[in-house]
Amino acid sequence: MRSISSREHPFYKKMLKLQASSTYRQTEKLALLDGVHLVESYLACGGMPLSLIISESGSQIQEIRHIINQTKAVSALDRWALSDALFKHISSVKTPVGILALMQVPAPPGIGRIQDCSFGVMLETIQDPGNLGSILRSAAAASVSDVFLSAGCTDCWSPKTLRAGMGAHFHLRLHEDIDLIKLTGEYEGEVVAATMRDAVSVYTANLREPIIFAFGNEGNGLSEELLKQINRRIKVVMPGKIESLNVAAAAAVCLFEHVRQRQL
């Protein structure tokens, strides 16, 4: 394991830039996995990091030592040791556990086989990384196959989105910068919009068929342009006195109502 003792080290400066810049991450097609759970999830799905970065205190943690031993035979894997002081500047969490993995972002899967998607999600200009990660987590838990993100969505592979996703990224086909209006016109299954306007209850709608759910921006919901292309609209009926649900919560309700209906 090689040591980094200076903030001027080229690899360290690269990690700082990856944490801070969405543009740089997208250009380099790289992402950083922060913490034991994310790294273990990636390895469990057959992934292999390009590099492991371990803090001084992290090297004493049993789970991290297990990851180091698990990947010991991989000669192409770079391993870097950092002081705790240096490590905390490249971690996105306040109290880092002491392990980061540098991974190659998978190539876009393409949407040529869109008709193979029997359970999918469309996301239009979701802005908050926590919301996006939570939606991806619910989608993976519900066994969604594909998630289609419009231009203007927050970075799918940012540290905050990855952390909120809890490993969901490794179980989904993620399509970024997608023209959702065009996709809606091409899909032969049902596209259903989650909106409070002119919508029926998600609990009474028939959601058993091949389906893609569409969820919109936190503040504005789905755009009028996209809504015009979607014939079916659903809403989460709330008996309480709250006006609306967080988009991630609404998505979870809708996705698992589909799961429930398919099991009947």
Domains defined for the chain, CATH in brackets: 2-104 (3.30.1330.30), 114-262 (3.40.1280.10)
> What pLDDT is recorded for position 119?
98
Amino acid of residue 67: I
- Beta partners for 34? 100
User: The whole model's pTM is what?
Assistant: 0.95
Ordered DSSP codes for the chain = -EEE--TT-HHHHHHHHHHH-HHHHHHHTEEEEESHHHHHHHHHTT---SEEEEETTGGGSHHHHHHHHHTTT-TT-EEEEE-HHHHHHH-SSSS--SEEEEEEPPPP--STTGGG-SEEEEE-S---HHHHHHHHHHHHHTT--EEEE-TTPPPTTSHHHHHHHTTGGGGSEEE-S--HHHHHHH-SSEEEEE-SSS-EETTTS---SSEEEEE-BTTTBS-HHHHTT--EEEE----SS-S---HHHHHHHHHHHHHHHHH-
Integer Cα distance of 90 and 120 in angstroms: 34
> What pLDDT is recorded for position 164?
98
pLDDT in tens, the chain (264 residues): 899 999 999 999 999 999 999 999 999 999 999 999 999 999 999 999 999 999 999 999 999 999 999 999 898 899 999 999 999 999 999 999 999 999 999 988 887 778 889 999 999 999 999 999 999 999 999 999 999 999 999 999 999 999 999 999 999 999 999 999 999 999 999 999 999 999 999 999 999 999 999 999 999 999 999 999 999 999 999 999 888 899 999 999 999 999 999 998
Amino acid of residue 251: A
- Cα 17 from chain centroid (whole Å): 20
CA angle 208, 211, 213 (to 5 degrees): 115
> What pLDDT is recorded for position 179?
97
Integer Cα distance of 61 and 66 in angstroms: 9
Sheet strands side by side (includes 173-175): 173-175, 146-149, 119-123, 211-215, 190-194, 232-235, 200-201
**Residue 174: CB atoms within 10 Å:** 18
Structure tokens at 180: 């959702």
Structure tokens at 106: 């998978």
Structure tokens at 43: 């390895």
Which residue bears the tokens 């801070």?
A: 20
CB neighbour class for 201 (10 Å; exposed up to 12, middle 13-18, buried from 19): exposed
Amino acid of residue 77: L
